Structure formats: structure tokens, C-alpha cells
Structure 1
């Protein structure tokens, strides 16, 4: 049943900025909209979004201005459809609006009941770690340290965070071949996750820490990108073994906001040999 919620600042401001960024990213020609006059800004006009969503143009303008307006799940569904939001982006909008997340197919992933240090050690020589939704590294095995060339046991607990290490640790960053793609993706993951914890002091503290650590994070944060975690291939570089291509698989300890186990498996013979060279225990 659709319900109305009145948005409160600063959540309303974040929702407004996200909607505006999506509106400006759409090509009116691709959507088949008529060319009427000269467009002073890229993307759709607010009136066009309102027309596609069948909502009041004035109401949508207020929503995009960050005003304290009421937004029903039905209206949000229409707006996210008009803006051609992905499933992750739609969930992000609903979270910012304080509405129950829309039903959608579950991501294909297995759930793990526990993720502890014994399990991680048993996975060695496969690199593996456990992290929470804020990307704090809660556990790891020796193979993961060998892969990244960072002894996480010597890193202060408060700095054991994948995003923070990517921003501040040169060795960590140099181990990632596609770091120009990985960091933006991590920031998009964090933004999507934070929508459900916007008022949580721990999340706000983490965000402030990232902002203070690097101007690069601030620039990426302003892009308003959101993504869902998925199983991807990762390319690492080790000076002794060269490039190592690994399949990252994600396993959760709970259906929602649980700890996540990440295991990295070589995708070919060359990567298996390279990994074996830096993890001779196997």
C-alpha cells in the first residue's frame, strides 16, 4: 500500500541532487521527446519528467529543489521509471525518501551463516577477507595480504577499510590494475549502502573520514553514482608474479546488511601459477 512520507533535510537535499543528476543525464532525442525551443541545460526538463511520470510539474520541481514535500511509493515508482533508473538507483531513491524498498529480483548470491578467522585460514592459499557494509575489513587471511602486499595485521584497525586504503595506501592502490575503475565503483557502493543508514553516526563519521582523506573521494561522491555489489573479475599486479586475474565471489552472512565474505579465485592457468608463486604455502 502506498504511503506518504514528508522528507526532511538533509535527506531531501540528497534526493533532490540525485534526481537532478539523473534527469540531466538523459537524452531527450533517445526518449522520442519533441524538440521544443533551445535547451539551456543538458538532459530533460523538469516538466518533461513530470509529464512522463504523470505527476504535477510543480510538485516535482519542489521535490528536486529539496523542499519538505510528501512522496508516496507510487509517485516514486513513476519518477524512477521516467528517469530510467536501474534497480540499484531505484532502491537508492526509495531509501532516501524513507519508503520501503520496491520489490525486485534478488541478486544471485549464496548466503553464509558465519564468517570467521578459521574459515578464512582454511581458504588459504585463495585470498579471502570479510568486510561489513561500510567496507571495513573485519578479517583476512595471509594470501590476501600476499596479494595486496599490505600486511593488514600491522595496519591500525580504524584504517582497515577498502576505500580508505585505496585513498591513502600507495602499495594497496598499486596492486590494483584497474584502480581508475575500482575506486569509483567502491564510492558508488558506499553511497548506495549509506542510504539505509543516513542518520547513523558511524556512517557519517566514515563519510567525513573519506572526505578528509582525499579530494578524489569528494569529486567521486559528487557524481551521485550508485551501484550494487556483484561478482566481478579483478586484476591485480605483483612485482614478483606480474598480472593476476581473479574472480571475486561474494557471500553474505545474513540477507540484509550482513558481513560479506569475498573470495578470489584464479580464472586461468597463468593466474593460478602467478598466485602460487606468491603464496608458496599452497
Structure 2
């Protein structure tokens, strides 16, 4: 940025085309000494309001603003509109092409951003009204045990909560995360107890057993893939672990095509 970009005179004997420290400080409404200490990484108390003022002065975009917060060791709270609610069409095309393998896009909070038909054959994740998004953890913890699609939930759900806590460390103090943890704790005492335990596990591949009323149990291994341009979001692909499970996944697909046959024209698209 140059002085002209912010309506300031260029001045004389400038050694750099960009803004000087005193100019950034003036435009941000902070003292030059304090701003110098901020640049130097000294242990000062930087409030979110002051960091936002500096970010506006420097015209930082969302990733740059978040990076500034991290450098200042201040909890970063993304605006509601910054939370991903959907994926780009090309990402949806990728997971659709993986059918008959089950594929879904999660963010770090286990919100379901997209899923392919094979995933929906096994598991429908409704929107959780308390957070305004379909969330797999919310669904698993609020379903009655007899209808939960995850077998051995007493082992699997604690692992998911520990994985969630691993991601939570990057979002401490953010309203969207704090409200989510508080609401799910109120909805599920079991989740509240697991969360209070403080267990942390990094995400990784696992073999899980799922149950569907139409075909019974099936063992699926999960593998996560990162997505360019969507930090902390991942495509999770579930692959049958044995031939019996592969046959059951195929049976679910045949059931779907029998109940909802693909349309032959674009004039009457399938629901």
C-alpha cells in the first residue's frame, strides 16, 4: 500500500513505497511506540479491536487477518459469513465421482458441507437447529442408541470428541465454536462428560462398523483428503474393509436406484 492508496501525501525522502510505521499507527488510531512493539512481537496486550483497526488500515483479507491474530496470540473469531456452508461445484463433482464409495466433506467441527449419494444411502444428517448446520456429531449424540448407525458407539464417539477437541485448540474463544460446544453439551450429557475429560486425538484413518436397517452391519475404513482453498475442511472417503461389506454397500446402491430410479431426461429431474 502507498500513501496515495489511503489519501495521504507521499512526503519526501521515502525509503520505501509502502506506508511508514507512524502512518499505519496514525490511520489505526494507536501510538507509534505501541505499533512498533506490535511489529517487533513484544509481549504487549493487543485487543481484538486494535488488531481489527490495523487489519482495516492494511486492507487485510480474511486469511491475513486470521494470521495477524495468531501472531498476536489473540483468539480469532471468524465472522458468521466466513464459516463454510457449502463446497464448490468441482468438489461436489469429485465426491460424486467416488460413488459407490461413500464420501462426505466435513469441516473441523464435523459440519456436513456436502455428501455423495452413497454416503446418503447409509446416513442422513439433518440440520441441527441450534447451530444452523447439519452436523454429524450432533446427530450421533442425539439419536437414540438403537437407531444410531455407528456400531460400538461407546468406543467410536469418544474418539470423535477427542478429535474435535484437537481442532478446538485453534478456535478457543470463537463464538461459533463456543456456542456449538455449549449447545451440544446441553443436548447430550454424555458429550458434556466426554468434553470435560480433555482427551485429545489427532484425526487419522480408522475402521468403523456401521449398521443400516436394510442390510445390517458393514465395516468401512476412512481416509481423509485435504481440499485446496478450504482450510480445516476435508473429504472423508469410506471404503469397504471386506467383500461382505462391499456387497452390502452395493446392495444399498441398488436399493436407492430401485426406490429412486435415475431420470432419463432433464425435464423431470429426480428429487
Describe the SS at the equivalent of 1:138.
strand
CA shift, 1:180, in A, is 0.8
Matched, 1:259 2:225: no
TM-score (norm 1): 0.55
Provide closer, same or farther for how the CA distance between residues 200 and 153 of structure 1 changes in structure 2, counting only shifts above 3 A. Answer: closer
Render the CA deviation track for 1:87-111: whole Å, top value 9, x for unaligned: xxxxxxxx9xx59xxxxxxxxxxxx
Q: Is contact 1:166–1:172 with CA below 8 Å preserved after alignment?
A: no
Structure 1: give runs of 5+ residues left out of the alignment: 8-94, 100-112
Q: Is contact 2:184–2:191 with CA below 8 Å preserved after alignment?
A: yes
Q: Is contact 1:253–1:260 with CA below 8 Å preserved after alignment?
A: yes
Larger mean CA deviation between 238-247 and 133-142 belongs to 238-247
Q: Number of residue pairs matched?
A: 178
Matched, 1:229 2:182: no
Matched, 1:125 2:100: yes
CA shift, 1:203, in A, is 1.0
Structure number, greater radius of gyration = 2
Provide closer, same or farther for how the CA distance between residues 114 and 227 of structure 1 changes in structure 2, counting only shifts above 3 A. Answer: farther
Matched, 1:274 2:248: yes
Provide closer, same or farther for how the CA distance between residues 218 and 153 of structure 1 changes in structure 2, counting only shifts above 3 A. Answer: closer
Q: Is contact 1:189–1:228 with CA below 8 Å preserved after alignment?
A: yes
Structure 2: give runs of 5+ residues left out of the alignment: 1-40, 46-69, 75-87, 259-271
Matched, 1:174 2:115: no
CA shift, 1:161, in A, is 0.7
Equivalent position of 1:91 in the other structure: none
Q: Is contact 1:120–1:129 with CA below 8 Å preserved after alignment?
A: yes
Superposition RMSD on alpha carbons, in Å?
3.3
1:194 to 154, 164, 168: 168
Equivalent position of 1:26 in the other structure: none
2:112 to 137, 143, 154: 137
Once residues 220 and 155 of structure 2 are traced to their aligned partners in structure 1, the CA distance between those partners, rounded to angstroms, is 16
TM-score (norm 2): 0.57
